[in-house]
Amino acid sequence: MKTHTLLMPLDMHLHVRDGVMLENVAPLTAYSFSGAIIMPNLVPPVTTKDGVKEYKERIMATVPNDFFEPYMTLFYKNYDKAFLESVVDDITAIKLYPDGATTNSEGGVSSFDIEEMRETLQAMSDLNIPLCVHGETAGFVMDREAEFMNIYELLAKNFPDLKIIMEHITTKAAVDMLDKYENLYATITVHHLLLTLDDVVGGMMMPHHFCKPIAKRPEDLDALLSVALEAHPKVMFGSDSAPHPRDKKESCGCAAGVFTAPIALQLLCEIFEQYDKLDNLQDFVSDNAQRIYGICPEFKEVILEKRPFEVPETYSGVVPLYAGKTINWAIQSVE
Catalogue the active-site residues: 240
Helix (H, G, I), strand (E, B) or coil at 98: strand
Question: Is the omega angle on the peptide bond into residue 213 within 30 degrees of 0, that is, cis?
Answer: yes
Checking phi first, is residue 318 left (phi over 0); if not, alpha (psi -120 to 50) or beta? beta
- What contacts 253, CB < 8 A, 6 or more positions away? none
Strand partners, 74: 94
Extract the runs of DSSP E, i.e. beta strands, from 121-193. 131-133, 164-166, 184-188
What is the distance between the alpha carbons of residues 135 and 96, in angstroms, rounded to a whole number? 9
Q: How does DSSP classify residue 130?
A: -
CB 81 within 8 A of CB 126: yes
